[in-house]
Amino acid sequence: MRPGARWVARAEDHGRGWQVQAPEPWDAGRHLDPLHVPSDDAVVLGLDVPFGVPLPWARRAGVGSFRDVLRRMDDGTWPMFGTPASAPGEIALDRPFYPRAPGGTSRAQLVDGLGLDEAGDLLRRCDQPVPGAMPSAAPVFWLVGAQQVGRAAITAWREVLAPLAALPHARLWPMDGDLVAVARPGAVVLAEAYPRAAYSWPLGFPRTGWSKRRQADRALRAAEAGAWAASCGVPITLEPALRRAMADGFGPAPAGEDPFDALMGALQVIAALEGLVPDAPADLDDERRAVEGWMLGRPA
């Protein structure tokens, strides 16, 4: 996860509706450290990284929950877990990320190295495509290609999730229960907020014909997000600095996609808390809930 790609969009509701602020660069001292101490508020931190691991791998690795993975990563039980394998022979159940660099590699090597049956075993249920709405997500353990998410997962799990998840006031969604049930005063709830899912649920962006790397397209989609915020039935106020950034498409550089996505993720969290998009599906069994997790807003 490139440091410059880490952005935060804050939204607060103190009883008068949601106040959404302009995205700002991630600063651990300001955004992360305060979460280590319980406050009077309920805090939901949505992160654009996978919260969970594929169930076939977890069964072979002998872990019963994503919390168990974070614990083994944090306490030294699996010292090589976050070190990507450079060659097929280095792949192991406790070293599942592969490859360190592209060239002469294949997902088949990862499947074989982990002792799985097929490439589909690398995907969580929520990584599967939604026909007509969202393509398949990349496997969390696969580290090459434009859509790979594994490197961001390693960083976020090590620096954010594992330390926070060990605290008594921290909750993981959906592992620890329904979102509204666990978002109680004093709690910090960690959830997977995938902006690509937010484009469809709740924002309704067109699936094709635009790119978040183009300023004009970002401005157009941001205007649609503003219209959704004004008409969704929930009081949402976009602060002036945010409105200016949205109208400008978050600047001319392609990197404007990062604050753009931070805002879309924040709107997704609001929609989930307000019941405008679904919580985890009713047919998500306990084992998958504990191990694989789910994406906020994504339907079954």
pLDDT of residue 88: 97
pLDDT of residue 1: 59
Summarised one tens digit per residue, pLDDT across range 143-156 is 999 889 999 999 99
Rounded Cα distance, 170 and 152, in Å = 21
Helix axes 257-273, 215-231, angle to 10 degrees: 20
- Cβ pair 195, 178 in contact under 8 A: no
The beta strands (E) that lie in the chain are given as 7-8, 11-13, 18-20, 24-25, 43-47, 170-172, 188-192, 236-238
**Backbone dihedral angles phi then psi of residue 294, each to the nearest 5 degrees:** -160, 170
Q: Is 237 helix (H, G, I), strand (E, B) or coil?
A: strand
Burial of 234 (0-12, 13-18, 19+ CB in 10 A): middle
Summarised one tens digit per residue, pLDDT across range 156-208 is 999 999 999 999 999 999 999 999 999 999 999 999 999 999 999 999 999 99
Residue 299 to residues 114, 140, 202, Cα–Cα distance (Å): 29, 20, 11
Q: Is 236 helix (H, G, I), strand (E, B) or coil?
A: strand
Rounded Cα distance, 20 and 67, in Å = 31
Burial of 37 (0-12, 13-18, 19+ CB in 10 A): exposed
* pLDDT in 10s for each residue of the chain, 300 residues: 577 889 999 999 999 999 999 999 999 999 999 999 999 999 999 999 999 999 999 999 999 999 999 999 999 999 999 999 999 999 999 999 999 999 999 999 999 999 999 999 999 999 999 998 888 999 999 999 988 999 999 999 999 999 999 999 999 999 999 999 999 999 999 999 999 999 999 999 999 999 999 999 999 999 999 999 999 999 999 999 999 999 999 999 999 999 999 999 999 999 999 999 988 998 999 999 999 999 999 988
Nearest by Cα to 229 from 17, 28, 83 = 17
**Backbone dihedral angles phi then psi of residue 217, each to the nearest 5 degrees:** -70, -40
| Residue 33 token pair | 């450290």
